[in-house]
Amino acid sequence: MKIYVTNVFVDDQDKAEAFYTDVLGFVVKNNIPLGENRWLTVVSKDAPDGTELLLEASDHPAVPPYKQALVADGIPAHSFQVDDLSAAHKRLSDLGVNFTVAPMEAGPVRMAVFDDTCGNLIQLIEMTA
């Protein structure tokens, strides 16, 4: 068994598509109209057949309070792994990404947290052990 698709709820799919592709560097895998929204998935350009991240519209009434509670408590919605956290932090900061937690040591990893501009906090992890 393996993970095929996972999701992150986004406030605006167009804005999310731009951020996750133009800023983070993912590529669109699926973009299928579904009524008012889309089945919009992105993948790592380094693993085009890997796990897909569904940029899912936050339409369900339970989603906004859930997302707001996570952000208020500083809890990331997802973690993405990078090879070099310092380089990723600099590149994203230079693009205007707001980090809520600067790179720091956290046991066997280095980590940082940023705001994805779509209502979520996202954690970056560099494995150090």
Domain 1-59 has CATH 3.10.180.10: yes
pLDDT digits (tens, 9 = 90+) for 3-25: 999 999 999 999 999 999 999 99
- Which regions of 11-120 does DSSP assign to beta strands (E)? 27-34, 37-43, 52-57, 78-81, 99-106, 109-115
The stretch 96-120 carries a mean pLDDT of: 97
Fold of 74-129: 2,3-Dihydroxybiphenyl 1,2-Dioxygenase; domain 1 (3.10.180)
Residues 6+ apart with CB under 8 A from 120: 8, 9, 10, 67, 70, 71, 76, 77, 78
User: CB neighbours of 50 closer than 8 A, spacing ≥ 6?
Assistant: 43, 44
The answer, as to whether pTM is greater than 0.75, is yes
